[in-house]
Structure 1
Amino acid sequence: MTSLPLSKIKSPSGVLAEIERVSINIANQLPVSSWLDAELADTLLAYHPVSVQKVSRHYEVVSGFRAFHAVSALLDPEASISVGITDAHESDLISGALFELITHSLMHCPEALDAKERV
């Protein structure tokens, strides 16, 4: 893991941006500060790691979208967080992000028992 300032990490572009947008839209709409203390940000990131890839002068999130946005809402933009840096191919990143989106969606859908078992 590497420590990077939040101000150097941006939301992804392209297909990953759409996956991130949907992930955030289906997330709990309560203000992060109402359910997470800033002192627990490292614990959240330990259980839900954020991975980034280098793009020009900044890094883009490629997995761990919800954890990244929760921590971003709590911490100062110059605070550093632990992230994994990847150089995976875009198709691998998209597959991983879609799997994250689908599995998260199935966890919150009680009538999706058959789909949960297949995944």
Structure 2
Amino acid sequence: MSHDCLFCKIARHEIPARVVYEDDQFLAFHDINPAAPVHLLLIPKHHIASLAEVGSDDSGWLARMVQLVPQLAAENGCNPLPEGGFRLVANTGIEGGQEVDHLHFHIMGGARPWSKRAAPAA
């Protein structure tokens, strides 16, 4: 973990968060500025800055992280398919809109419409 990283501090429980899931590799918590009725952040507990730094050695934990998404979405209020669903977003880099330099997935869902901030790009 990184000493100064915001999400590493949350993973170490040095900064409070509304945690909805935790195991030895991952932590999921509510976004403090939600853009949808359900808006969670899922992070690996080890520090990796973004998807741009993922390599072939990361395939195992990254697959497990992706596999958690549907479970977390369902357990936290996303409506089931076919009418429901969720959005998975991983902003990468400054131009990709990444605000915290620690890989994280935004899991968003719930009844539409959401705010314009979460709307799909035209």
TM-score above 0.5: no
* TM score, norm. by length of structure 1: 0.25
Higher helix share: 1
Q: Which has the higher contact order (CA 8 A, sep 6+)?
A: 1
* TM score, norm. by length of structure 2: 0.25
